[in-house]
Structure 1
Amino acid sequence: MTYLRYAALGDSFTEGVGDVDPALPNGVRGWADRVATALHTAQSDTRYVNLAIRGRKLVPIVEEQVDAAIALGPDLVTIHAGGNDLLRPSVDITALAAVYDDAIGRLTATGATVVLFTPHDPGAAAGFRALRGRFAILAEAMREIADRHDAVLVDYWRLRDYDDVRLWSFDRLHMSAAGHQRMAMAVLDALGVDHDLQTLELAPLPELSTAEQARQALTWVTGFAGPWLGRRLRGVSSGDTLAPKYPDWSVPPQ
């Protein structure tokens, strides 16, 4: 398949948080940019929109991005949402899946190829392990939705590479540059698109003493977990002041 109009929808996962690039809009690159660039390399007429905004929950993503994307007439859509819902104190996963199902149905009805994702398995991350059951239930719902609508599924849960901490950024919530590169490869492979992307070289895992591990954990709490919790308590999102990276058809970043 050749895709000429690729629309990326979602939250921080799709915006590219964790893959820092100050030269790009919102200061990040991300797997969707990398996919778009690979598609453009194969076909120079390819254009790209990325409507994703960090911090968005599922309903705002659907309300703000799905109809906007349909109006643009893409032939390829990727959508990832629900992660921010799962991190809230309580969540109705059945209701979440119903909203997702309706959105995927509307997107596939346009004739576009639609790619969706399961959540990842947080079992290897101590800070998020307690939420593993929620992630697993939504993962199975996403597999059912993909089957129902004949969508392309990237089963993030089963990509065991992500048990490696080096595929995650400092905040342990977003992928690193290496993680985004790996996801771009997974998406292109799921689509059956030839590409020349390779896994990024990883630095050796550091051998940390117990004291160093404790200091690292404290740095994470003060540098990420504390500010993140503070925003939740204030009803503030990290994406409140941001606009989509590429709201109109654009040449993918090179």
Structure 2
Amino acid sequence: MRYVAIGDSFTEGVGDELPDGSSRGWADRVAAGLAATGNDGVRYANLAIRGRLLEPIVTDQLDAALSLDPAPTLLTLNGGGNDMLRPRTDVDRLVALTAHAVRRCADAGVRLVLLSGADPSARLPFGRAVRQRGEALTARIAELAGAHGLDFVDVFHDSEIRHPAYWSPDRLHLNATGHQRVAELVLDALGEPTAARAVRPDSPETHRLLTELRYYREHVLPWIGRRLRGRSSGDGRTGKYVGWIPVPPGQPSRACT
């Protein structure tokens, strides 16, 4: 199997950091899970870049993914989360971009799995607008997947992953536990023998004033500053595995441990 993942910070693995500061994430975990149950191992590439809008994902990243040699046999696609955070979101355009990716993968003979991102809206400023947009896009992508007979992993409506225990301090990205749950949802959709586990913390999350002030200072204000400057957290970055890396059978690779 040759598996390539494209997308934004969700697929890059932001929030699931290793001791050396690099990101792991659900896609790395899926590669490891696929290798653990196969006899020949997996070749894996991850072209996702944090901050990317959907258009460069389904153009630049998809071009690079389909140009890999040898060609991929499996591709996962998630995108649109950063588009949802912009003041204006054209859901019809996002669906059309996704449909373009569906056609290209079909023409190339590559198995495509579509994912919706996890729903962060309950704990975000202006979360109601984010949820409404996410609901609309998720419904349309699910319809698109159904029309083409594609696997669709609906993380957005996974009620378990909305629990604060699965999220990073920035409230926008999943933590290691959240990424593990997404990996298990994806592996389940691929027919691999796993079960998505639920994690329940011992105590509920609290929203004290100092905690909220720290959250806005450390996460919200820097994000607003980048938007005002026309900058992205992914500026100057490339995908973390732009060529095939081996994931040996029966054991995780350096990238997936």
1:7 aligns with 2:9: no
Specify the alignment match of 1:21 in structure 2. Answer: 18
- Paired with 1:246 and 1:69, the residues of 2 have a C-alpha distance of 11
Specify the alignment match of 2:106 in structure 1. Answer: 108
1:59 aligns with 2:55: yes
Amino acid aligned to 1:235? G
**Residue 207 of structure 1: how far off its partner (Å):** 6.0
Which of 23, 26, 31 is the matching residue for 1:31? 26
Q: Superposed, which structure 2 residues align to 1:1-254 within 5 Å?
A: 4-23=1-20, 27-43=22-38, 44-72=40-68, 73-127=71-125, 128-195=127-194, 199=197, 203-206=201-204, 208=206, 213-252=208-247, 253=255, 254=257
Cα deviation, 1:109-168, whole Å, max 9, x if unaligned, reads: 322221111243445325223322111110111111111222110011221112210101
- Paired with 2:117 and 2:11, the residues of 1 have a C-alpha distance of 13
- Paired with 1:204 and 1:139, the residues of 2 have a C-alpha distance of 32
Contact 2:12–2:23 at 8 Å: present in 1 too? Answer: yes
**Residue 45 of structure 1: how far off its partner (Å):** 2.8
Give the secondary-structure state (helix, strand or coil) at the position aligned to 2:4.
strand
Which 4+ runs in 1 deviate beyond 4 A? 200-203
RMSD: 1.9
Larger relative contact order, structure 1 or 2 (CA cutoff 8 Å, min sep 6): 2
- Give the TM-score taking structure 2 as reference length: 0.89
- Paired with 1:207 and 1:226, the residues of 2 have a C-alpha distance of 22
- Paired with 1:48 and 1:215, the residues of 2 have a C-alpha distance of 43
Q: Which runs of 5+ in 1 are unaligned?
A: none
Q: How many residues align?
A: 245
Contact 1:51–1:246 at 8 Å: present in 2 too? Answer: yes
Cα deviation, 1:29-81, whole Å, max 9, x if unaligned, reads: 10000000111122243110000000000111112111111122111100110
- Paired with 1:20 and 1:119, the residues of 2 have a C-alpha distance of 18
Cα deviation, 1:198-238, whole Å, max 9, x if unaligned, reads: 74866423564xxx622111111000010011001111111
Q: Larger helix proportion, structure 1 or 2?
A: 1
Give the secondary-structure state (helix, strand or coil) at the position aligned to 1:114.
strand
- Give the TM-score taking structure 1 as reference length: 0.90
Give the secondary-structure state (helix, strand or coil) at the position aligned to 2:192.
coil
Amino acid aligned to 1:6? Y
